[in-house]
Amino acid sequence: MIDPDRYLDRIGFDRQVRLDLETLTALQRAHLTAVPFENLDVYAGLGVRTDPAASVAKIVDRRRGGWCFEANGAFAALLEALGFEVARLGAAVLLHGPNEVVDHLVVEVTLDRPYLVDVGFGDSFIVPLELNRAGPQAGGTGTFELIDSPMGTTLAEHEDGVPAARYRFSRVRRTMADFDAASQRLQTDPELHWRQKPFATRLLDGGPDRVTLLADRLKIRRGPDSVETPVAPEGWDAILREWFDMEPPW
């Protein structure tokens, strides 16, 4: 069983919880600030699970982050424990071109209307997006659009006014066990970026400012300005502790 109070304390959420859009938005931004999107266990070959209990323990007890199956899986469990109506959806990531394989988990939350929520996709939208709304909408970090087609709904981010596909999802409820095969494939394929270089990224103070630690540099974005600082291998763990309050798993 999830302890929602401990989870809320982990993400620094001390407001009254109401089942409304304002609370959902605040929870999403708090989670994106406190819980990094990171691949350290996958990179180190330690193995990760899709089981929500394992993900919650990693995030709350070990004060770590995780990738989509962990971050969105745990966040969905928190929202359910708080009384929100939640559906777990499968998505195909389109960042590198056409893809029909489900390799991402997203969350649908129904209030007065359905919303798309995602705390496990790195630098993306940071507020709930209306699922049944046509046309552009503000995502807190830029302009996003949900485009329906016979193949599903595509999340697109506008780049110079042109929608660029990020992922496509079907609004069919799934269980976390449905993502086991994708999780195993993504963490065991040495050709994929998850295994090649470590990274961690999170919002700063609710966003849209962000800090990102890559294998060889630290990126800090504040407003329109972005600063990159080289990071030597021997200093990487210390930078992780300083900016993410995490101990490396190696």
Q: Of 41, 68, 103, 123, which is the active-site residue?
A: 68
Q: Mark out the alpha helices in the chain (DSSP H runs).
A: 4-10, 21-34, 40-43, 52-56, 68-82, 180-188, 193-196, 236-244
Cα–Cα distance between 150 and 136 in angstroms, integer?
A: 20
Q: Of 118, 123, 178, 237, which is the active-site residue?
A: 118
Cα–Cα distance between 185 and 183 in angstroms, integer?
A: 6
> Any catalytic annotation for residue 104?
yes
Q: How far is CA 10 from CA 35, 57, 148, in A?
A: 9, 11, 36
Q: Of 31, 41, 103, 104, which is the active-site residue?
A: 104
Q: Are 212 and 145 in contact (CB under 8 A)?
A: no
Kindly report the backbone phi and psi dihedral angles of residue 186, in degrees, each rounded to the nearest multiple of 5, phi listed first.
-70, -30
Q: Are 94 and 102 in contact (CB under 8 A)?
A: no
Cα–Cα distance between 18 and 56 in angstroms, integer?
A: 22
152-159 vs 143-149, strand pairing mode: antiparallel
> Any catalytic annotation for residue 193?
no
Peptide bond into 163 cis (omega under 30): no
Q: How far is CA 200 from CA 63, 86, 233, 246, in A?
A: 13, 27, 15, 10
Cα–Cα distance between 250 and 42 in angstroms, integer?
A: 11
> Any catalytic annotation for residue 118?
yes
> What residues are labeled active site?
68, 104, 118
